[in-house]
Amino acid sequence: MKEFKRKFCPNCGSDDIKWALPQNWSLWECYNCGYTGAVVIEDEEMAKEIREKYKKEKSHDD
Ligand SMILES: [Zn+2]
């Protein structure tokens, strides 16, 4: 049983995201890639795909 829903960054798939402002819970900030926005992913499978894609894109930078 999973009561606690994890949230993931839509940009990099990290779960290292926090509310950017405690007073404004619709705005999220990702500590992994620096993303800020209202959109977060709650689907762990989707987050996994995003993480894979993000890693690939990152490895292209050189
Ligand atoms: Zn991120």
CB 9 within 8 A of CB 43: no
Distance 19 CA to ligand 1 centre (A): 13
Boundaries of domain holding 24: 1-50
Ligand 1 centroid vs 55 CA: distance in angstroms?
Answer: 11
**Residue 10 maps to a domain:** yes
CA atoms of 33 and 23, how far apart (whole Å): 22
Domain assignment present for 32: yes
CA 17 – CA 37 distance, rounded (Å): 11
Strand, coil or helix: what is 17? strand
pLDDT confidence of residue 28: 93
Token pair listed for 19: 């509310």
Structural domains of the chain, count: 1
- Residue 21 is predicted with a pLDDT of 79
Selection from 4, 29, 25 nearest residue 16 by Cα: 29
pLDDT digits (tens, 9 = 90+) for 16-56: 999 887 787 789 999 999 999 999 999 999 999 999 999 99
pLDDT at 22: 75
Please tell me the distance between residue 40's alpha carbon and the centre of ligand 1 in angstroms.
10
Does 56 map to a domain?
Answer: no
Quick check: is 38 in a domain? yes
Q: How far is the CA of 45 from the centre of ligand 1 (A)?
A: 16
